[in-house]
Structure 1
């Protein structure tokens, strides 16, 4: 069977087209997982694996992106990341190129917040042309908040100071916890049914993202949007921003600022200017959101042909090779160190100094043995000499002389044993123990 040349792929072509398919179909996604195998080479890029109980995926976060992460990832940490699916073509591995990273808890709420924000913006709830102007002459203000919180005290204090003639009607509600958003919706609906106030002030003090989460409710957003009464949102501190702030007709940074906005005094013009600026910022934010979505689509289309992506592939491969080289060098150095240690030990064993020490000890030992042997030999010789001297003294003629005997010799110093060898008139010599006696033979007597 002959293959169609148009259907014969190279490995590089296959991996390249798979990458384009994955990037084109999935685009950017949010992914929740646990970090493992985290590494940060000298290039500044991050490489890690995200896993759950059943699966895992390799991830890369390049230097230009990870500089915006406010924490240092560690193995075992649960995170929420946003990125694009791609393929690392040299190995044919598909991977996630991370663009942003958040801790799992805050990240999940932030993801839900951004998703709802995009959804409501697409529905037109944030549109500037739907915002209503506040009444010129406000007589009654409806305050939707907790009746025991600090926010209501701040609002009443500011209104009493700036314009005591304004009446305040409090619509008590829960502003934190489970079902708080439904309680707030109910309070807004009651105010709209009664129509006894000129404007509604939705407010509470600052808190964490979880504390303010009821103001990020989709149901509350639609309730505010459908309210017949103008709504001013004054939730949290100045840095806190909720969905209710975007839907409301006017956003005030704090409860006190909301009360000042709704009361008249010499600073009214500056407050109205602040309101206009706030609406302008909201409009700019909506326009920016729209343009960001458009830019995201254009970036996605551009990334398919972006040479930077190929460069990132090469950088990732370079980092991988660098890590392998560092590992190989480390193993090589370890082997060389062990070999050096072994050779040093063998050299120490073959060292002349070592042998010299051994021979010196041996010579000292032999010298000690020689000395002992000489002493033993000398002692034995002394004992032998004494023994021989004793034996010699035993057979010595001198010993015989010491017992009173004498030795007689002729003139030739021959011992005279027989008188037949003498003549009358011969001189004889008698050896005593002490001295000699010279005699002349006058008579010879022969005994039987």
Structure 2
């Protein structure tokens, strides 16, 4: 005989469905592993019409499936092909419908450039976390620099581009060149030394640090930490001018100003001759306007003083009083004329009023009003009598409705004690009391037994 043991409630709660198991595993992979970087060879590359990429990354001993969605693969700067060695940044995940363990790729680069880019991103995050890129640390460039310092290769095209622009725009502007290596393993240290030397000599108002364009490896010396920290520590404002406009280096983030090219840096720090001429003309115009304004103010002050002096002169006071007298005489004349006109109007109105209030007309109007009032009084009395009669009839009808006599007519009677208090219960009397019963046609006195 075979016995089957019942499954406990606790055991039931630990039984997974396949869907639940895959979901739990996916969350564990995504939450625990986070972002990973890895190098591998592309294989089984597929790019369907959806725009997503699907492929495998492999090395000599293993492979892993990968997916790169179109929102991320649009940023890839090369065309991936099977056999490419690449560096990818990815999140570990699991494709639940099939239970396939896979990588979700966020970025992809050729292996060499990718390693440099990874180092670039790590240093950028580190320095940003320390606040070296903060805007409030940026030093402003002087508007009219007295001397420009250039830190670059003495044989590079960037130096000649900068010198050509400065010569064209402002030939009188002094220039100091601090030659240095701008490519190779020792270049970063040499650039830092040149920046330190320029600060110790303190003979320039602005430093341009840069070089011409090149590959990521060519520009890598400007992505070294020693260069970044030296730029941040510089007491002289620094303009970073590395490569072309699309090239971005750590030096660009730390510098006080970033110029897209060396020539643009020269344009930025200089003022052309026409600008200086315009500045002189503007200053002359401002000076002339200031003199005119001062002259106008002085004239106004003089006029005010002359006017104040004239107001204190006896002739001015006499003229003022004479004018006041003339004004008062004119006002008196106008007032007398106005008063006479008003009196004439009042006289005319009094004559009309006297004619209107003649005794004959007053008697006629009084008789007419008396006749009208009499007729209206008779009508009012008659209407009042009618209203009172009607109200009296209504009140009599209501009174008869609630009258005790009306109740007695229907066969009822009212019993009171000797004091006239109406009896409503037998408890109100006792044996020997005299009571009075009122009927419709008289009263009956009774004794309680």
What TM-score range do you get, normalising by the shorter chain?
A: 0.5 to 0.7
CA–CA separation in structure 2 for the residues paired with 1:213 and 1:29: 24
Q: Matches of 1:133 and 1:79 in 2, distance apart?
A: 42
The answer to whether the aligner puts 1:238 opposite 2:245 as a matched pair is yes
Aligned to 2:91: 84
Kindly indicate whether the alpha-carbon contact (under 8 Å) linking 1:120 and 1:126 is maintained by their aligned counterparts in 2: yes
Shift of 1:69: 3.6
From 3, 8, 14, the counterpart of 1:7? 14
Determine if the alignment matches structure 1 residue 260 to structure 2 residue 234. Answer: no
Deviation (angstroms), 1:44: 4.4
CA–CA separation in structure 1 for the residues paired with 2:177 and 2:114: 35
Q: TM-score, normalised by structure 1?
A: 0.56
SS state at 1:4 partner: helix
Provide the rounded CA distance (Å) in 1 between the counterparts of 2:272 and 2:65.
Answer: 61
- Structure 2 counterpart of 1:186, from 193, 203, 213: 193
Match of 2:124 in 1: 117
CA 1:266 to 1:7, structure 2 compared with 1: closer, same or farther past 3 Å?
A: farther
Match in the other structure for 1:210? 217
Give the TM-score taking structure 2 as reference length. Answer: 0.56
Q: Is the 8 A contact 1:139 1:165 kept in 2?
A: no
Partners in 1 of 2:175 and 2:59 — Cα distance? 53
Rounded to whole Å, the distance in 2 between the matches of 1:127 and 1:268 is 32
Deviates more, 1:150-159 or 1:105-114: 105-114
Structure 1 stretch displaced more, 101-110 or 182-191? 101-110
Aligned counterpart, 1:38:
45
**C-alpha deviations, 1:92-136, integer Å up to 9, x for none?**
332101233222222222232223222222221111111001123
Where relative contact order (Cα < 8 A, 6+ residues apart) is larger, the structure is: 1
Distance 2:57 2:274 in 1: 55
- 2:134 and 2:232 map into 1 onto residues whose CA distance is 10
Shift of 1:71: 3.8
1:137 matched residue in structure 2: 144
Residue ranges of structure 2 left out of the alignment (5+ in a row): 1-6, 277-449
Partner of 2:154: 147
The change in CA–CA distance for 1:26 and 1:200 in structure 2 (over 3 A counts) is same
CA distance in 2, matches of 1:155, 1:72: 36
Contact 2:93 2:101 in 1 (8 A): yes
User: Alpha-carbon deviation of 1:43?
Assistant: 4.6
Residue 265 of structure 1, CA deviation = 2.6
CA change 1:167–1:18 in 2 (3 A) is same
Match of 2:331 in 1: none
Rounded to whole Å, the distance in 2 between the matches of 1:111 and 1:133 is: 32
Contact 2:86 2:110 in 1 (8 A): yes
Are 1:223 and 2:233 counterparts?
no
Q: How many residues align?
A: 269
- Inter-partner Cα distance in structure 1 for 2:247 and 2:253: 12
Find the counterpart in structure 2 of residue 445 from structure 1: none
Task: Give the 3-state SS of the residue equivalent to 2:245 in structure 1.
Answer: coil
State how far apart, in whole Å, the 2-side matches of 1:64 and 1:6 are: 40
1:95 maps to 2:113 = no
